[in-house]
Structure 1
Amino acid sequence: MRITGAQVFVGGPGRNYVTLKVLTAQGVHGLGDATLNNRETLPAIYLRDYIVPALIGMDPRNSEDIWQFLYRGAYFRRGPVAMAAIGAVDMALWDIKGKLAGLPVYQLLGGRSREAAMVYAHAAGADLPDLMDSIAHCIEQGYRAVRVQCGIPGMPSAGYAVPEARGRGKHYISDFAGIRPRVEIWDSGRYMRFMPGALAEIRARFGPELHILHDVHHRLLPREAAEFARAAEPAGLFWLEDPTPAEDQDALDLIRQHSTTPIAIGEVFNSIWDCNRLIEAERIDFIRVAVTYAGGITHVRRIVDLAGLHHVRTGFHGAPSHSPISMAAQAHLNIWAPNFGIQEYLVLATPDCDALFPSAHRVENGLMHVSDAPGLGIDFDEKQAARYEYRPGSHPVVRLEDGTLWNY
């Protein structure tokens, strides 16, 4: 069995999804996702110019050797561009192998560890009452876990993942349109004075059963993060995400010394070498890697196994920048992983997206149910894909009120 070619598509409804379709002489194809949010053309070029020509003639069943060929065979390793491209290839090969075996991918991994996987929704509000309405809406939709983000009184701009105006939080998704980044203004003092109390009010209103998650998005210094984590303890968070930038991983010891609030980190990590020390030292409680950015199913499975040895659970990234193909691959890992924790779920589930990526995977009452179709259980409609073209965009940048550039 041999790979005869591969196609790369860029575009989609509301997002520039990078979709890889690997073709074989036997007519079986596999799908992968290489979407790198707001840098989408880079992994697309990496695939078209460097990886796809090297795949021709290879046996797609040898996914482990092909992964090693693409990773260890490159002199310059890792990085988000290369790992997103490798991740797409790896997903496609697992998809092919599942189709050849007539089995869903999770069966190739070792079978089910659970019937369905808990996901969390995003709630946001321009102020606290607005956020409360958004949380109530998520609960009405059946979610048992909700990430909460709130506008901060006196903050010059709305803040991370927060709408500018009230009443827009129920389905709010950050706007990344335009190649020139939008500027957000941040004030750590105002945030730290307000947000712990807001989390306590959320807990008081919605009771002990709701899983509450909150994302700091790298914006606190280590001492501030330790203080914030301790102040948030009464709210009983499911996790506190990215309390401080993870480049200085030793700084996370300071949080551990001052708080028992669970910590989740890793959505920007590319490999096991980014997170092995965090996991082995048990500085985190949830690992947030994504099957796209972290090199596909083959590599993420290694990270999951390492995490399982150190009481660290999974909490895969699932922002709208991940296409339904990536989310399908993570769904199979979630059903298999014995140390599963939770799955972020913010896919643009619209009729247009469903038409582009038809699938029987579904979310009901806050749980993701995985299709038993062979492979990844998802398809890609090229006729629908022809409707879309690449539209450049950028993440915002963050500055302090004096103009100092800060962490996004």
Structure 2
Amino acid sequence: MSELMIERAEVFVCAPERPGSTWTPEQPEPCTTHTFLRLTTQEGLVGCAATDSYTSHYPDAVLAETLRDLLPELPGRSAHQRQALWQLLRPKAYARSAQAQALIDVALWDIAAQAAGKPLYQLLGAHRSSIQAYASTPVLASPEAYVDYVEQWMEQGFRALKFHCWCDPRRDRLLLEQVQRAHGDKGLALMLDVEQRYDLEQALEIGQVLETFGYAWFEAPLDDYDLAGYRELSHRLQVPVLAAGNAITDPLLVDYALQRQCWSRVRVDAMTCGGITPALAIMRNAAAHGVLAELQSWGHSLAQAANLHLMLGQANCTYFEQACEYEAFEFATLNPLRADATGHVQAPQRPGLGLEIDWPEIERHALQRLSV
């Protein structure tokens, strides 16, 4: 077995010209930052990862500065030591971004799969080679705009959509009712995401509407930290209830919530929970509890790929999240992930994460660079 010793670690911070839309109505246009990590082994294998962060005014330098403190731990260590490295870097005395740890972990998995000559999902369980995608919408101007948007994405082959909405129960109900009148008989899987903006009473009201209309799930109705509220909501509604999945992300905390039946399904993202290693543990733990784990895949193509491989590897998830504004997330990616004419995303066939990255393009646009 090759040693896969890390020889060099490099970070590139880029702010794309196209920032993408908002997913709540009061949100200003985000300043999106792509942070890339490139690890090179002594054998010449290159593992990579990327994640997005969103700020209001200036590109985000915090993630790169966190990596500045972590990268010296990597040279001379093997990509086979993923679990040990994850435990070593896991915050114990000082809080730091799980996204930084995720970049390292994902790049190590990328190297390991390349060394095995296999697409990553084959190392993660190889449950399937494709998965149905749902179109994840931005906030639109009117109920009629959502009706038209559904039609547009159906024409592209999608049979599932998730609405980011106004987070106002009265307006959101109008949206739901008009979409139901126009498309309720077409066998679509529909979801609603209110980005943690409702209180319990509002969530119960709209949740009952979603039950009546047969929605696939109700996402982020309450603040992620409101586990008591989620537990009550999950027990009182038949529609599956998910948190946003951005706050309760540590495997121990997720297990705590699972044991108390706080959610109908687990919501997690490899890039916010600390990497593929903890995300895989969360998915397996959820399966042991008989609960589906629906992964986010909003963000740069490399972040999408990390989550896609997990979904392909494991059985207890149902949909890949396809952000509608493709190009905003495909910076410097030569073969980005897009659903096919049947609304499915196929497994990349190249070893590792399977994406071809234009590193010269990244280097030309880098606002900040680090290396060890």
- Write out per-residue CA displacement over residues 309-362 of structure 1, whole angstroms, 9 at most, x where no aligned residue: 22322222222xx21111111111111111012121117533x96571223754
Q: 1:338 to 1:201 in 2, by over 3 A?
A: same
Q: Give, as a single letter, the amino acid of the residue that structure 1 aligns with 2:48.
A: L
- Return the alpha-carbon distance in structure 1 between the equivalents of residues 228 and 266 of structure 2: 16
- Return the alpha-carbon distance in structure 1 between the equivalents of residues 13 and 203 of structure 2: 38
Q: 1:146 to 1:280 in 2, by over 3 A?
A: same
Q: 1:347 to 1:193 in 2, by over 3 A?
A: closer
Match of residue 196 from structure 1: 173
Q: Give, as a single letter, the amino acid of the residue that structure 1 aligns with 2:211.
A: E
1:129 partnered with 2:144: yes
- Write out per-residue CA displacement over residues 357-400 of structure 1, whole angstroms, 9 at most, x where no aligned residue: 22375421321111121111123222111342559xxxxxxxxx
- Return the alpha-carbon distance in structure 2 between the equivalents of residues 87 and 145 of structure 1: 28
Matches within 5 A, 1:34-45: 34-38=51-55, 40-45=60-65
Match of residue 22 from structure 1: 39
Q: 1:309 to 1:237 in 2, by over 3 A?
A: same
Q: Give, as a single letter, the amino acid of the residue that structure 2 aligns with 1:288.
A: R
8 Å CA contact 1:360–1:371 kept in 2: the answer is no
Q: Give, as a single letter, the amino acid of the residue that structure 1 aligns with 2:151.
A: A
**TM-score, normalised to structure 2's length?**
0.85
- Write out per-residue CA displacement over residues 30-75 of structure 1, whole angstroms, 9 at most, x where no aligned residue: 0012433327321111112x11111111112211111111116x42
Match of residue 130 from structure 2: 116
1:47 partnered with 2:61: no
Match of residue 5 from structure 1: 8
8 Å CA contact 1:36–1:293 kept in 2: the answer is no
- Return the alpha-carbon distance in structure 1 between the equivalents of residues 231 and 263 of structure 2: 10
1:83 partnered with 2:83: no
**TM-score, normalised to structure 1's length?**
0.78
8 Å CA contact 1:211–1:238 kept in 2: the answer is yes
Alignment partner of 2:119 out of 104, 108, 112: 104
SS at match of 1:288: strand
8 Å CA contact 1:285–1:312 kept in 2: the answer is yes
Alignment partner of 1:284 out of 255, 263, 274: 263
- Return the alpha-carbon distance in structure 2 between the equivalents of residues 138 and 303 of structure 1: 31
Q: Give, as a single letter, the amino acid of the residue that structure 1 aligns with 2:135.
A: A
- Return the alpha-carbon distance in structure 2 between the equivalents of residues 349 and 125 of structure 1: 16
Instruction: Tell me which moved more, 260-269 or 322-331.
Output: 260-269
- Return the alpha-carbon distance in structure 1 between the equivalents of residues 329 and 228 of structure 2: 41
- Return the alpha-carbon distance in structure 1 between the equivalents of residues 174 and 325 of structure 2: 31
SS at match of 1:16: strand
- Write out per-residue CA displacement over residues 57-105 of structure 1, whole angstroms, 9 at most, x where no aligned residue: 1112211111111116x4225xxx5210110000100111111111111
Q: Give, as a single letter, the amino acid of the residue that structure 2 aligns with 1:294.
A: C
8 Å CA contact 2:147–2:178 kept in 1: the answer is no
Match of residue 271 from structure 1: 250
Match of residue 255 from structure 1: 233
8 Å CA contact 1:18–1:33 kept in 2: the answer is yes
- Return the alpha-carbon distance in structure 1 between the equivalents of residues 336 and 61 of structure 2: 29
Q: 1:347 to 1:303 in 2, by over 3 A?
A: farther
8 Å CA contact 1:289–1:315 kept in 2: the answer is yes
Match of residue 85 from structure 2: 66
Instruction: Tell me which moved more, 1-10 or 115-124.
Output: 115-124
Q: 1:355 to 1:237 in 2, by over 3 A?
A: closer
- Return the alpha-carbon distance in structure 1 between the equivalents of residues 143 and 352 of structure 2: 44
- Write out per-residue CA displacement over residues 159-216 of structure 1, whole angstroms, 9 at most, x where no aligned residue: 36xxxxxxxxxxxxxxxxxxxxxxxxxxxxxx32343353233223211511111111
8 Å CA contact 2:142–2:175 kept in 1: the answer is no
Q: Give, as a single letter, the amino acid of the residue that structure 1 aligns with 2:269.
A: A
* Structure 1 stretches lacking a partner, 5+ long: 151-158, 161-190, 392-408
* Cα deviation, residue 279, structure 1: 2.2
SS at match of 2:36: strand
Between the two proteins, what is the percent identity of the paired residues? 24
Alignment partner of 1:215 out of 173, 193, 199: 193
Q: 1:325 to 1:149 in 2, by over 3 A?
A: closer
* Cα deviation, residue 118, structure 1: 1.4
SS at match of 1:93: helix
- Return the alpha-carbon distance in structure 2 between the equivalents of residues 274 and 340 of structure 1: 20
- Return the alpha-carbon distance in structure 2 between the equivalents of residues 192 and 343 of structure 1: 27
- Return the alpha-carbon distance in structure 1 between the equivalents of residues 113 and 281 of structure 2: 19
- Return the alpha-carbon distance in structure 2 between the equivalents of residues 347 and 83 of structure 1: 26
Number of aligned residue pairs: give it.
Answer: 344
* Structure 2 stretches lacking a partner, 5+ long: 19-31
RMSD: 2.3
Match of residue 300 from structure 1: 279
- Return the alpha-carbon distance in structure 2 between the equivalents of residues 130 and 35 of structure 1: 28
Match of residue 357 from structure 1: 333
Runs of 4+ in 1 over 4 A off after TM superposition: 352-355
- Write out per-residue CA displacement over residues 231-272 of structure 1, whole angstroms, 9 at most, x where no aligned residue: 332111111111111212011232134321211214313322
Q: Give, as a single letter, the amino acid of the residue that structure 2 aligns with 1:376.
A: L
